[in-house]
Amino acid sequence: LTKNHISLVLTLDSMNPNVRRVEYAVRGPIVQRAVQIEKELREGVKKPFTEVIKANIGDAHAMGQKPITFFRQVLALCSYPDLLEDNKFPEDAKKRARRILDACGGHSIGAYSASQGIECIRQDVARYIEKRDGGIPSNPDNIYLSTGASDAIVTMLKLLVCGEGRDRTGVMISIPQYPLYSAALADLGAVQINYYLDEDKCWGLDVTELRRALNAAKQHCKPRVLCIINPGNPTGQVQSRECIEDVIRFAKEENLFLMADEVYQDNVYAKGCKFHSFKKVLFEMGPEYSSSLEMASFHSTSKCYMGECGFRGGYMEVLNMDPEVKAQLTKLVSVRLCPPVSGQAMLDLVVNPPLPDEPSYASYLKERTAVLAALAEKSHLTEEMFNTVPGITCNPVQGAMYTFPRITLPQKAIAKAQEEGQAPDMLYCMKLLEEEGICLVPGSGFGQKEGTFHFRMTILPPTEKLKVVLQKIRDFHLRFTQEFS
Amino acid sequence: LTKNHISLVLTLDSMNPNVRRVEYAVRGPIVQRAVQIEKELREGVKKPFTEVIKANIGDAHAMGQKPITFFRQVLALCSYPDLLEDNKFPEDAKKRARRILDACGGHSIGAYSASQGIECIRQDVARYIEKRDGGIPSNPDNIYLSTGASDAIVTMLKLLVCGEGRDRTGVMISIPQYPLYSAALADLGAVQINYYLDEDKCWGLDVTELRRALNAAKQHCKPRVLCIINPGNPTGQVQSRECIEDVIRFAKEENLFLMADEVYQDNVYAKGCKFHSFKKVLFEMGPEYSSSLEMASFHSTSKCYMGECGFRGGYMEVLNMDPEVKAQLTKLVSVRLCPPVSGQAMLDLVVNPPLPDEPSYASYLKERTAVLAALAEKSHLTEEMFNTVPGITCNPVQGAMYTFPRITLPQKAIAKAQEEGQAPDMLYCMKLLEEEGICLVPGSGFGQKEGTFHFRMTILPPTEKLKVVLQKIRDFHLRFTQEFS
């Protein structure tokens, strides 16, 4: 082996160094260990628990959430159109399926679509955006369907990155952040510019901090892009209208391309909070802004009330993009041919669900409302419960699907982790996994203010299970604190 | 606008220069014009034809090919599991669907899968490969499911590219090539090393030519990768066993990572031709080769007899990959979370179709055989017909889905194209599109020996339509030749 190894073409030393720098904690070492433990459990290894609860990723169906019946009926009809003759399916489902199939080559979802996405689905997306934003126009030509939002975000970043040395593109991302951003920036060799959310102000975003980060970055790179996640991942804050206005003014002043990750736009739970799309606020600020600020916003089928992650559906809307660059974007996405057509079909249903006068409306509304109500309940439950634990403090989960509580770790635990070359919150989460079978992601995977520690947990487990999880984390936290005191 | 334009963040000049260099002719300007013409036809604009026939892309369903019934039944069951109670569905379809659903989080194809792909599907892929290769073992841990083969090919290239200047990774690709390769290399900033297939020897591959290309490239880059497409795209040749052995020996001698694009493995039509997988030949050459040559091979749900392009299913198998690099690969794919689960399900059916003792076997076999027989018929028809046209010469379509005939263009046409800054075969194809409504891709989009001209046409239109297409091209070619003489 050693002899062979010497002559290997592809080794850690000879591989793409940017890929080596990529990190993605949401599916990192802790999740690999969780999968291993699950295997051990299946093989009969005794553990202090009988199942691993994966609260590391926003994967609603895996946590038992049921799909929206109407959506799946249409998908079945699109997959096997013989069912269109079956009178078990409601007429509105058949109508949607026929419309999608008519827009497919050979009436089959097995045909490639246009690279930008099926035209009538892009039209539906545009209408959805118009309705959401109170009538502000949306042009289907500005809509690009994608393989989940991740795909579109990476594509957009790829377009934006250029230059070498001090001219290299800098991209501003929040800390804590969703690690897709840091991973994509490492992969592209772009410069990551951190701006910190204010934990003491419910993870609020302050333009002063944006300005500080930008000015510091100007010393060593060329900041060109500002990424915002609203509602926040992993931090769950919902930005106020004023905050969004401030951000837009800042982006315009500083000539930044704005990327608005709005995949949790239906996930708002806190009283007094409301989702405001960046686009709507931009247009309401008047033509000085709406006619010049370059922006892309992102949405997905994976979150909200439907949680259809596996379908990898998504879209982005671009605004004020140079037409020549748009042509380049269209060219770039054409190399991968098209997003999965079943994901496009799923997206079509998300943006074009049953209408009040259609037969499936009642069941759709009931299912949707139940999911969102349960999430709201769980968001409150989580905040309340964590804040009863000494050493855990937790901001309200205003939106999205995660809580990102701060944990106080004893000095001895921090020292032990440092000895082992591990982040202290990774030590904490690994121990929690081994002892309780609960899989979380350490705050270090998202970034956090130095000297503070957190974890991200989804609020997705069913209420009764979530209560057990919270209780177990509480017990573990007390035990951990005692053990290292 | 001008004023705004000055301050745009993202312009042709300030965008990622690698993306600007990307070209992808299969969906390039000619296809955009085809879409425009379709729109004009719908709007009632008079043309010398009533429909555009898109023979530019291997999109079987768009050309009227029907999906395999069994595959779509299973997909419908997976999409809407209530149908499992429906006795209209055969038991083997239900069994497959149950097995896939059991492997999904929450029994839903709406859950994320493991990033490498669903484990039991990777097992099925490994068994499929073993069966295909006469029992040579395949390890599911070496299988990575992907979003079509394109995704896996780009990921693999990304891992392999490093170095600067004369140390930059060079990647050998055939000319003519499938432009995904040149596009990915431009995007990654890697060095493209062209080796030419021999048109006079039925697009055969000669190691002498590989060596010439390699040695020339060593002057300015570090060649590390050899890409092979077999059966060939766009050239349709099927490599002999001897040729594959030569390639493997060459790759080993020169310490190259081998990428075998085998997405047309079921598409072999010519008498005396047979598909040999690179892996099988590698293992049959003995442990000296099989235990050390680093290789990845690629397959897809998009081609063969199923043509399920829209599902974006695919896989790659990696061999002799450094375990540390494999861990990096796994990390890299995890950033995009997972390939579309419906595409994974489709792939599972491709590698695990009905068995002879199962109820759907007869219909599956009948449908599969019919598609492949029709393709074989059309491959012969195409070759014969083109070779009757003065000024068109056409190699046999031994496999895959395309013909890549050589066209003789009059000097005046070449001069006119050059005046207009256009490739002469682009002029030809554009004129064909405008006059006959047939959309092909000019040979210049795939690369060709200087001074030769070609086009790529799929053999996918239904036989009767294909005959019309061939006749129209014949007439056009004669007219074109006369016009420019």
pLDDT in tens, B95-136: 999 999 999 999 999 999 999 999 999 999 999 999 999 999
- Parts of chain A with a pLDDT under 70: 1-6
SS3 A393: strand
Supply angle C-alpha B225, B229, B231, rounded to 5. Answer: 160
Per-residue pLDDT reduced to its tens digit, B32-41: 899 999 999 9
Distance CA A362, CA A461 (A): 25
Q: Do A307 and B27 touch (CB under 8 A)?
A: no
What is the CATH code for A15-64+365-483? 3.90.1150.10
Distance CA B285, CA B297 (A): 17
Please identify which residue in the block is written with the tokens 């999409």: B79
Q: How far is CA B121 from the centre of its chain?
A: 22
pLDDT at B2: 45
CA distances from A350 to A65, A68, A306, A342, B367 (A): 16, 10, 8, 13, 34
pLDDT at B159: 96
The mean pLDDT of chain B is: 95
Distance CA A386, CA A477 (A): 10
Instruction: Check whether B4 has a pLDDT greater than 80.
Output: no
Determine how β-strand A222-229 pairs with β-strand A169-175.
Answer: parallel
ipTM, two decimals, is 0.94
**B173-199 average pLDDT score:** 95
Give residue B267's region: left, alpha or beta (phi > 0; psi -120 to 50).
Answer: beta
Start-to-end C-alpha separation, chain B: 47
**B333-358 average pLDDT score:** 96
**B167-182 average pLDDT score:** 95
Please identify which residue in the block is written with the tokens 């051990």: A40
Distance CA B79, CA B76 (A): 5
What is the CATH code for B7-64+365-483? 3.90.1150.10
pLDDT at A6: 53
Q: What are the residue ranges spanned by the domains of chain A?
A: 15-64+365-483, 112-351
Distance CA A262, CA A259 (A): 9
**B284-295 average pLDDT score:** 95
Instruction: Check whether B355 has a pLDDT greater than 60.
Output: yes
pLDDT at B217: 97
Instruction: Check whether B249 has a pLDDT greater than 90.
Output: yes
Instruction: Check whether B22 has a pLDDT greater than 60.
Output: yes
Distance CA B278, CA B138 (A): 13
Q: Do B325 and A11 touch (CB under 8 A)?
A: yes
Chain A environment of B63 (Cβ under 8 Å)? 105-106
**Residue A435 neighbours by CB distance under 10 Å:** 16
Rg, C-alpha atoms of chain B: 23
Residue A160 token pair? 């934006």
What is the Cβ-side half-sphere exposure of residue A244, based on CA atoms within 13 angstroms?
26
- Selected residue of A1, A26, A31, A80 to mutate for chain B interface (largest B Cβ count, 10 A): A80
Please identify which residue in the block is written with the tokens 């106080």: A408
Distance CA A273, CA A190 (A): 34
Closest to B7 (Cβ–Cβ): which among A11, A104, A255? A255
Q: Do A340 and B337 touch (CB under 8 A)?
A: no
Determine how β-strand A313-319 pairs with β-strand A295-300.
Answer: antiparallel
Supply angle C-alpha B305, B307, B313, rounded to 5. Answer: 115
- Selected residue of B112, B293, B311 to mutate for chain A interface (largest A Cβ count, 10 A): B112
Distance CA B449, CA B429 (A): 18
Instruction: Check whether B199 has a pLDDT greater than 60.
Output: yes
**B249, B264, B250, B268: which is closest to B298 by C-alpha?**
B264
> What CATH architecture does domain A112-351 belong to?
3-Layer(aba) Sandwich (3.40)
Closest to A109 (Cβ–Cβ): which among B23, B35, B310? B310
pLDDT at B6: 54
Residue A435 token pair? 């002892």
Nearest-neighbour CA in chain A from B413: distance (Å): 28
SS3 A412: helix
Q: Do B108 and A310 touch (CB under 8 A)?
A: yes
Per-residue pLDDT reduced to its tens digit, B251-283: 999 999 999 999 999 999 999 999 999 999 999
